[in-house]
Amino acid sequence: MNAIISASDLASALAGGNPPVLLDVRWQLSVAKAAGEPPFDGRAAYLAGHLPGAVFVDLDRELAGTAGAAGRHPLPDLAEFGAAMRRAGVSAARPVVVYDGGQGWAAARAWWLLRWTGHPDVRVLDGGLTAWEGPLSTDVPPPAEGDFAPDPAAAGLLDADGAAALARSGVLFDARAGERYRGDVEPIDRVGGHIPGAVSAPTHDNVGPDGRFLPAEELGARFKALGATDGTEVGVYCGSGVSGAHEVLALAVAGIPAALYVGSWSEWSSDPSRPVAVGPDPQ
């Protein structure tokens, strides 16, 4: 099953006999703002206009736990996550399509969580809301209660120790911008740099100027050139497990399975005992 869906294919699916549940997960990374500038409000953006029938899902409250030692966006409590998905109308027998404002990070986080917890049919709208050419709605639908019950997979999830080990035994991609990987700047976390052995693979290189994923063949060639050759175990991390989910999605488009270190750099760098590498060299 393809992990992404085009806007035209989504329009056809919505007109079919078993239309997908639509989840709107608009979100932006919270970085220190100038005084007086309000933070991005995903719910307000949703209320101003969304795909007809879509239900808003709050990334910070429903797709992540409370920020702390485990990172800025740790795994949510799975019982609470399952309840949130059921409230949104998610059922095991009905496909799900997730979208955000166009960057794809938040939608990928929802896609990864649903897939990791056992939903069999989840896709991300390629290009997000900006790719949609149909009408938008301001109606807030009352979705019928779903029946989705999270059943996490044994594979697909890394902790700090697992990420460190994978950087030595396989390939661990760092999905952040190159300057954060090198430690040139660090606008959010305690210290800059990367997990020793990790390979820089910025998420923004997985998409074209329109925000849509590059063709599967190009993505496959990119990741293989970075070390994801046949038989190599692959993992991904980022700042807090959001843009990293987008890289896992890009790898899935290329046909390469990968695990996600959800705690990512926000967890790793919070512990002064963990080693930090700086500069362009993985080590």
Q: How many CB atoms lie within 10 A of CB 149?
A: 15
* Torsion angle, alpha carbons of 41, 47, 53, 56, to 10: 20
Instruction: Give the phi and the psi of residue 62 in degrees, each rounded to 5.
Output: -115, -20
Per the annotation, the verdict on 238 as an active-site residue is yes
| Predicted pLDDT at 39 | 80
* Catalytic site residue from 75, 107, 238, 249: 238
Q: Which pairing describes strands 122-125 and 259-261: parallel, antiparallel, or unpaired?
A: unpaired
Collapsing DSSP states into helix, strand and coil, what is residue 148? coil
Contact (Cβ atoms closer than 8 angstroms) between residue 4 and residue 126: yes
pLDDT tens for the 283 residues of the chain, in order: 699 999 999 999 999 999 999 999 999 876 544 455 678 899 999 999 999 999 999 999 999 999 999 999 999 999 999 999 999 999 999 999 999 998 899 999 999 999 999 999 999 999 999 999 999 999 999 999 999 999 999 899 999 999 999 999 999 999 999 999 999 999 889 999 999 999 999 999 999 999 999 999 999 999 999 999 999 999 999 999 999 999 999 999 999 999 999 999 999 999 999 999 999 999 8
Side-by-side strand order, sheet with 21-24:
4-5, 122-125, 96-99, 21-24, 55-56
| Predicted pLDDT at 32 | 45
Structural tokens at position 280:
């362009």
Measured distance CA(247)–CA(112) in Å, rounded:
10
